[in-house]
């Protein structure tokens, strides 16, 4: 079910230059929205309005919401690399916690009608038993997990205290073309095989994860915003997932077969502190929002491989 129209809706996006945010911006533009983005440097295209600043700039954010008469906010910006958050916790806390309260407070002080905050399955910590459901307590212990959990608690506070119309979205491990963080399993595996090198698995390879294609992730965020227009779902958290967790070794094997390679992975078995099982239930989204994915894991993976193969052809060396 679509909003009456996204055409000429005034939408504000944080994290527009990131992996997920860039896909969201393109989809919003396709739907006819007027997109304004908070950016640290001017973008290379002029299809969107942009505001120079960072999540730490409360007044800049507030002014942008007023000047561009923003209707809907997608707050996606975050320090999202778990390892980077581990090595630089202050940056993670500044960006993920302070940045979130700045966005929410700016929305509270203006006339924004909908706020969608991108959360993470990491908020449940290392000891939760999957499949994770939205009612589970937030139990992160490490900097990234804690920073996202704090952001979610603050978001919840703004809904209950100020009735700010906000929802939170948690997706499985998002993958797709355009993710240039080659420390992640799928892009790293495709990159290695493209160079005719054996892919490297840093863990034992026997853990399972909840891989979710980026285009389905973006459509899920948009669906939540659309439902907020007609249904009383403000304050809710929604999971989106294919609900079919994949073992790391099987994912590497699948990519290897799709790329017509016979190279065997190198298993380093160096990571043993991460939970062995980590995946989400999407029952609430299916039942309450009528959500269905457009893709599945394999069709998303094929599109992802095709994107990277073209990218590597265009960026030889």
Q: Which of the residues are catalytic?
A: 144
Q: Strands across the sheet with 277-278, in order?
A: 246-247, 208-209, 277-278
Instruction: Check: CB of residue 277 under 8 Å from CB of residue 209.
Output: no
Look up residue 242 and give its DSSP letter. -
Give the H or E element holding residue 237.
strand 237-240
Tell how far CA 146 is from the center of its chain: 17
Instruction: Check: CB of residue 121 under 8 Å from CB of residue 136.
Output: no
Instruction: Check: CB of residue 265 under 8 Å from CB of residue 203.
Output: no
Instruction: Check: CB of residue 220 under 8 Å from CB of residue 240.
Output: yes
């Amino acid at each position: 079910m679509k909003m009456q129209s996204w055409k000429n809706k005034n939408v504000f996006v944080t994290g527009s230059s990131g992996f997920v945010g860039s896909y969201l911006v393109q989809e919003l533009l396709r739907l006819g929205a007027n997109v304004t983005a908070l950016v640290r440097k001017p973008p290379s295209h002029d299809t969107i309005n942009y505001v120079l600043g960072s999540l730490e700039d409360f007044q800049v954010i507030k002014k942008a919401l007023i000047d561009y008469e923003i209707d809907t906010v997608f707050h996606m910006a975050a320090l999202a690399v778990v390892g980077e958050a581990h090595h630089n916790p202050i940056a993670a806390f500044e960006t993920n916690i302070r940045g979130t309260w700045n966005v929410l407070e700016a929305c509270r002080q203006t006339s924004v009608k909908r706020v969608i905050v991108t959360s993470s399955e990491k908020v449940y910590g290392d000891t939760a038993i999957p499949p994770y459901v939205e009612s589970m307590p937030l139990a992160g212990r490490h900097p990234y997990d804690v920073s996202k959990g704090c952001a979610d608690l603050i978001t919840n506070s703004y809904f209950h205290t100020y009735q700010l119309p906000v929802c939170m979205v948690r997706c499985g491990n998002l993958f797709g073309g355009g993710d240039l963080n080659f420390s992640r399993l799928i892009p790293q595996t495709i990159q290695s095989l493209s160079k005719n090198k054996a892919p490297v698995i840093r863990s034992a390879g026997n853990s399972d994860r909840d891989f979710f294609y980026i285009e389905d992730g973006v459509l899920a965020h948009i669906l939540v915003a659309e439902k907020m227009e007609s249904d009383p779902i403000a304050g809710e958290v929604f999971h989106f997932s294919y609900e079919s967790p994949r073992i790391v070794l099987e994912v590497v094997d699948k990519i290897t077969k799709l790329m017509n390679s016979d190279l065997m992975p190198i298993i380093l078995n160096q990571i043993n502190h991460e939970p062995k099982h980590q995946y989400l239930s999407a029952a609430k989204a299916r039942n309450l929002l009528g959500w269905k994915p457009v893709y599945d894991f394999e069709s998303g993976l094929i599109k992802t491989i095709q994107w990277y193969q073209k990218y590597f052809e265009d960026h030889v060396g």
